[in-house]
Chains A and B, each alone.
Chain A
């Protein structure tokens, strides 16, 4: 399997280990990734706070590059990048005014034909039975609590990914390693990430809220995407 790859800025910097472990995992699963040549930032939460067209044009530039480089499916492991790419694709396909504005900015006509996958979708796309065959060590000693956060599941009519309030796709993935994912209430609660720099106290409070319920049933790890 050969897929387009949009790592996003964080995976090249502070989330470097996420990039490394993803590449190692996909290598073991014999999935080849071709990075989009000369990709640029998706604008994350700052672009859509500043200008609605800029917020669409930044991801659209990458969608067009991927298309030009012959890709039809791209993997965006970062939840914010995945969300911005998916929202942009949806807007460009359904909102003519927005598409016109973005085409004027990019000076290129837009054409669709790109599937955008987050990491959980990618594992389902590869096929859970295929992955199960390649697992070398059972992880039954772990009791993971799966954390989806906001941007994989919302807005649900656009991402179309699982249930917005009670998703289970990630649990299905971790459970093929022989572990049992625990049920908890904070799967899709916001961690406040966009305020990490300016309002660290808010982020601390929102993230700490999630730890006691996860710990109280000897839940040992939280996995996210």
Chain B
């Protein structure tokens, strides 16, 4: 039995009889999370050191340790819907400072992966559009193509005019190429994406 599962029982029912249950089925969500990250979210004892050093805390709905708490209590949708999951910049300051060696940045990666798989609607549509556009370029060309990526992102978000003033300067300095540079063995990269789809 995972501690996270135990908290779930207490958190949702408050029924002491249920708390004493000996046969608790393994929770598929926690199982999947552990399979991806190799760590049990129950490991976190909520000291909050991660949130104290988080550079995006002030922009996000929930403190990062609160997202872990949601998962510990079994509020999975609440965790996956939190914009903190998508605003995490992946800087890993939290992971480096955690007294329990809980790799919170990796936990956030898994939350994004699991949320996408479950078609969770997030408010962070722009961030999702950016990641999709970036990965599409790799899938099609084997390498990231900045011009194509920004074009796809703009069409997805309809944010058409942002940063266009930078284009002439970047073109004249050779920092932006209109056409992508494709690798020779493109198929060897394309097939890596089958796991994602």
Which A residues are closer than 8 A to B by beta carbons? 9-10, 12-16, 38-41, 43-55, 57-58, 61, 95, 97, 101, 105-106, 150-151, 153-156, 164-165, 188-190, 192-195, 197-200, 202, 206
Contacts of A39 in B (CB 8 A): 183
Taken together as a complex, chains A and B put the C-alpha atoms of A38 and B135 apart, in Å, by 18
- Bitwise, B25-47 to A at CB < 8 A (1) or not (0) is 00000000001111000000000
Contacts of B134 in A (CB 8 A): 44, 46
Contacts of B124 in A (CB 8 A): 198
Contact A38 to B150, CB < 8 A, known contacts A16-B174, A57-B192, A197-B130: no
* Pair A9/B144 contact, Cβ less than 8 Å: yes
Residue of B nearest to A164 (CB): B96
Contacts of A53 in B (CB 8 A): 195
Our pick among A10, A106, A192, A200 for the contact of B55 (Cβ within 8 Å) is A192
* Pair A155/B109 contact, Cβ less than 8 Å: no
* Pair A198/B129 contact, Cβ less than 8 Å: yes
Contacts of B49 in A (CB 8 A): none
Contacts of B150 in A (CB 8 A): 197
Contact A190 to B93, CB < 8 A, known contacts A40-B143, A49-B113: yes
* Pair A12/B181 contact, Cβ less than 8 Å: yes
Main secondary structure of the interface of B (DSSP, over half): helix
* Pair A190/B91 contact, Cβ less than 8 Å: yes
Residue of B nearest to A104 (CB): B195
Q: Kindly provide the distance from the CB of A212 to the nearest chain B CB, expressed in whole angstroms.
A: 16
* Pair B175/A199 contact, Cβ less than 8 Å: no
Give the tally of cross-chain contacts (CB within 8 A).
Answer: 148
* Pair B87/A40 contact, Cβ less than 8 Å: no
What 3 pairs between A and B have smallest CB-CB spacing?
Answer: A190-B91, A9-B144, A198-B126
Taken together as a complex, chains A and B put the C-alpha atoms of A164 and B183 apart, in Å, by 36
Residue of B nearest to A165 (CB): B96
* Pair A46/B135 contact, Cβ less than 8 Å: yes
Taken together as a complex, chains A and B put the C-alpha atoms of A57 and B150 apart, in Å, by 24
* Pair A105/B127 contact, Cβ less than 8 Å: no
Q: How large is the interface on B (under 10, 10 to 19, 20 to 34, 35 or more residues)?
A: 35 or more
B118 interface residue per 8 A CB criterion: no
B112 interface residue per 8 A CB criterion: yes
Contact A54 to B193, CB < 8 A, known contacts A192-B55, A195-B127, A199-B87: yes
Residue of B nearest to A58 (CB): B192
- Bitwise, B181-197 to A at CB < 8 A (1) or not (0) is 10111001101111110
Contacts of B52 in A (CB 8 A): none
Residue of B nearest to A13 (CB): B146
Taken together as a complex, chains A and B put the C-alpha atoms of A193 and B134 apart, in Å, by 14
* Pair B130/A198 contact, Cβ less than 8 Å: yes
Our pick among B38, B87, B131, B153 for the contact of A95 (Cβ within 8 Å) is B38
Our pick among B36, B131, B175 for the contact of A14 (Cβ within 8 Å) is B175
* Pair A202/B56 contact, Cβ less than 8 Å: yes
Q: Kindly provide the distance from the CB of A98 to the nearest chain B CB, expressed in whole angstroms.
A: 9
Taken together as a complex, chains A and B put the C-alpha atoms of A156 and B195 apart, in Å, by 29
B69 interface residue per 8 A CB criterion: no
Within 8 A of A (CB), among B90-132: 90-93, 95-96, 103, 109-110, 112-113, 116, 124, 126-127, 129-131
- Bitwise, B158-182 to A at CB < 8 A (1) or not (0) is 0000110000001001111100010
* Pair B110/A190 contact, Cβ less than 8 Å: no
* Pair A51/B91 contact, Cβ less than 8 Å: no
Q: Kindly provide the distance from the CB of A1 to the nearest chain B CB, expressed in whole angstroms.
A: 27
